[in-house]
A = this chain, B = another copy of it.
Amino acid sequence: MVSDGARDTEMTAESQALPTMAPLITLTDAHMGDVNHVIINRMQSDVPLIPELASHLIAAGGKRLRPMLTIAGALFGPDGSVPDSALKLAASVEFIHSATLLHDDVIDDSDKRRGRDTANALWGNESSVLVGDFLFARAFELMVETDDIAVLGMLSSASARITEGEVKQMVMAGQPDAPLEDYISVITNKTAILFAAAAEAGARVGGASKPVCDALHKYGLALGRAFQIMDDALDYASDTKSIGKEVGDDFVDGKITMPVILAWQDSNAEERAFWQRTLGDGNIAEGDFQQAQALLQQHNAISRSLDAALAEAHAAANAVDILPDTELKSALISAAYFAANRKH
């Protein structure tokens, strides 16, 4: 056991070197301009509304995390180069992600994303549904151009699983007694599988070996889970107004996430009645969100969720253990711990 002094030093060192996305951003940066070029170029259509709406969402930014994973994957190939097919796949995963965002916002009837009006708020649900479909189809056109059927298999299967995750999430809504494994299955499908496919597909077209491809798949899976668990936990964190969406959205929507499931499992009858009335019946009054936060606090449900995110970050780091010790490997590990530590 370390002395208090040593521990203090350790904590200071740790806080000075909080994990960030910066190394991954830096190491993929030389290629992200090309990826953006493909994205902008391939969202074009003779029907002007399509690029107009798509660029509102896509050009507005977001972290471009999935394309970054594809580029990182490609860089693990034997010559560390990024072939055109990796750029296309990177754009492709961003299109799939964007399509799901457009459809999600319709489903959740959201009017804000990343602090801006959503596409459905500006152009209507019809346009968002159709442009989502367009981006999805365009993603497959791009994949076809890579001429790699295995990659098409990965990403078509990932796409099917995303929708399974979304449907299951919808079915679970309002059921605070859902088992934790159902939540894990939801976030694995709706989020983590695409992270995994993005990284693996990049590695594959970059010419990486099978073990490297597999390692990056596992990494993406754990990273995606860490991100989603954090996202869901932050929705109940009172001090983060900066995540773009409103804090408390999941509560209002009756969405069942890890903190709620953990709290429910430890709750007495009175508390369960509260969750049932609010999340279950959608009967939410002034002050209920604060009450929900207090209950989560009482059962350490947020901090236990953060622990779960951290465990996924560890799993992500372990997954890339077999990769050569490069800056890129460190960057991936840093990104994983960032996912489990981020404030927004």
A127 partner residues in chain B, CB cutoff 8 A: 167, 170
A130 partner residues in chain B, CB cutoff 8 A: 103, 107, 163, 166-167, 170
Evaluate contact between B50 and A133: CB separation under 8 angstroms.
no
- A141 CB–B CB distance under 8 Å: yes
* Bound: A164/B133 CA distance, A: 9
- A144 CB–B CB distance under 8 Å: yes
Query: Could you tell me which residues of chain A, from 116 to 172, have a CB within 8 Å of some CB in chain B?
Result: 125-127, 129-134, 136-138, 140-141, 143-144, 147, 149, 152-153, 156-157, 159-160, 162-164, 166-168, 170-171
Q: Which residue of B lies closest to A160 (CB)?
A: B137
Evaluate contact between A47 and B168: CB separation under 8 angstroms.
yes
Evaluate contact between B133 and A49: CB separation under 8 angstroms.
no
- A44 CB to closest chain B CB (Å) equals 11
- A240 CB–B CB distance under 8 Å: no
Number of chain copies forming the complex: 2
* Bound: A134/B153 CA distance, A: 15
DSSP class of A's interface residues: helix, strand, loop or mixed?
A: helix
From known contacts A127-B170, A159-B137, A170-B127, infer whether A45 and B106 are also in contact, taking CB-CB under 8 Å. Answer: no
A140 partner residues in chain B, CB cutoff 8 A: 140, 152, 156, 159
A171 partner residues in chain B, CB cutoff 8 A: 47, 49
A163 partner, pick from B106, B131, B149, beta carbons under 8 A: B131
* Bound: A159/B130 CA distance, A: 11
- Residue of A49, A132, A164, A170 with highest tally of chain B CB at under 10 A: A164
Contact with B along A167-202 (1 / 0, CB 8 A): 110110000000000000000000000000000000
- Residue of A49, A130, A152, A168 with highest tally of chain B CB at under 10 A: A130
* Bound: A231/B133 CA distance, A: 24
Q: Which residue of B lies closest to A109 (CB)?
A: B126
Evaluate contact between A164 and B103: CB separation under 8 angstroms.
no
Evaluate contact between B126 and A170: CB separation under 8 angstroms.
yes
A141 partner, pick from B129, B160, B170, beta carbons under 8 A: B160
A137 partner residues in chain B, CB cutoff 8 A: 136, 156-157, 159-160, 162-163
Nearest first, the 3 closest Cβ-Cβ pairs linking A and B are: A137-B159, A140-B156, A137-B160
Q: Provide a sorted-by-A list of 10 A–B residue pairs whose CB atoms are within 8 angstroms.
A: A47-B167, A49-B171, A50-B164, A106-B129, A107-B125, A133-B166, A134-B163, A136-B137, A138-B160, A149-B152
**Chain A interface (Cβ within 8 Å of chain B)?**
45-47, 49-50, 99-100, 103, 106-107, 125-127, 129-134, 136-138, 140-141, 143-144, 147, 149, 152-153, 156-157, 159-160, 162-164, 166-168, 170-171
